[in-house]
Structure 1
Amino acid sequence: MWSGPCVAAGLLLLFGVNIVFLLPESNYCHIKNCPADKKLPHIGCNSSGSWSPKCGKEPKIIDVPNHIQKFILHYHNTYRDIVAGGQLHRLPIAARMLKLKWDHDLAFLASILVKRCDLQPTDHCISTEEFSSPSYHVVYNKFKAKQDTFRIVRSQLNAWYDQYKKVSASSLFGGFSTDKKEIGHFLRMIVGPSNRLGCAIASTEKDGWTHQWLGCLYSCSPQKNSLLYEYSGKPGEYCTTGINGIFQNLCNDTEPVKDCLHSELFKTIITNDTTSLIRGMLNRQTQARVPWLIIPALIVTFVLLS
């Protein structure tokens, strides 16, 4: 499902340097584009920056240094490129999937959200002036001994991406796996119109364990009754500004996107005939599929599903 639970894995960490997030210029109390289903005020409106009592002892925001920020972006764009190129089994080629870039406003809101220490989505508005419906997901690892922050972040991203194994073409508009396994984290990573990403890392002490949290906000959410991305027989076919020079199945950095909508070139209408739609997706692919079977190893001791 789109709004699925989050993964918790028992692993290890080394604390990073604390960072103080500067309040962006946005006045969150006056954000006017909050979705109608968000009944509570904006998460950033009059925020005191306080932590939830459920977080435990010694909560702190950990710096996202430049090399980790670059890694998070490169990780996402690499696997978006793999999906867009039709190299992931059972998924169609993407005609228009955008490259992600870092957004400091989204990162700031992620730093507020991780202070909830909660795996469940919030009922508060999390919009920005530029993005009305960001998508948020979060993961935590728990461990006894110290470990490197980067290693933990890498394993957390691996856990999200590893859900690809349960995804099929029908997941692109239904949000479900064929065997009802959790795939929401992976689906958030491949929303085609998303072009911005911001993440925050937190650390807390609870019941003798250190918890490291990673929360990420994407500029676009999976939308009901809409495909996650535009499909075609050729990667980037509907990119209006051409192909990215490094990720050659993704659109150029300057590709415009408005309100997370698909391009005017993509006119597919989802009907009630799901079988025909899936068959149409796969039949339009003209190039060979390359199974992507080599995924970085996960150091995971357990997964929490709720």
Structure 2
Amino acid sequence: MDQLAAMRIFRRVVESGGFSAAAEALDISHTVVSRQVRQLEELLGAQLLNRTTRRFSLTEVGQLYYQRCIDIIDQVEDAARVVSHHHARPGGVLRINAPMVFGTLEMPNWLPQFMQAYPELKVDVVCNDRFVDLISEEFDVGLRITRSLPDSTLVAKRLAVSDMALVATPAYLEKHGTPREPKDLQQHNFLAYSLALQTTELVFIGPDGREQLVSLSGNVQANTGLIVCAAARAGMGITASATFVVHEDLKRGELVEVLPEYRLQSRDLYVLYPQNHHLSPKVRAFVDFLADYYATPRWSV
């Protein structure tokens, strides 16, 4: 006897209000329904139903067993849905939110490859540098480069680490001098990202592990890292940037690292998405793709 099948039939008998109604709903004979319930009772060694010629009622143990049948059958069906959902081909529209500089400089490196892997999928990418509520603004996923995430109901998967580097052009340093220690930066033009937690202050960790807080000032401040880094490339001053933004400039020597023996706190790359009972195929595909892509370090200098 298939015990799970018998449990399904028993549940349908209870919920349909009788053997005949259950047989009709399941498209099987009354005899099969009756036999399955009887064999189930024999297997359990307990009477589940009180039968009369016109109606039935659950016994006390039958009521308990019925509740457990609901739990077990629902869990089995839920497990089947999870597998089916996992293997479903991603499709529809995937709405992605990302910081402007990340979306502009980094996403073009891998988005075409992702789209080629899932040709049935459409993407809608929105880049900005303001706070975005993924749920209220109906985004499927968000990408964030940050030191820390605020508490929320979103799922956050850490993908990679981007070091922070203090950079300037060789021409700027030749003209204005190269800082030898953090306090020397107070004599320089600092280009600030205005949405940083500390816009005009930097915390350095020295070779000895000690922290140094330095207050800075300058004539350029912007709410996008694109403008700040463009100003640095133009030789206008010194800025602190995530290495994913400037690693190619550093490799080419167009920018050089200032105070390389001192460290700034790194930033983490996260992919965020709302908590759902079942992760949709399109979101799962995107998260898995990024996890695989960023498993290899990308921004070394």
Q: How would you bin the TM-score normalised by the shorter chain?
A: under 0.3
Q: Which has the higher contact order (CA 8 A, sep 6+)?
A: 1
Q: Which structure has more helix as a fraction of its residues?
A: 2
> Which of the pair is proportionally richer in strand?
2
State which structure, 1 or 2, has the greater radius of gyration over its C-alpha atoms.
Answer: 2
Relative to the length of structure 1, the TM-score reads 0.22
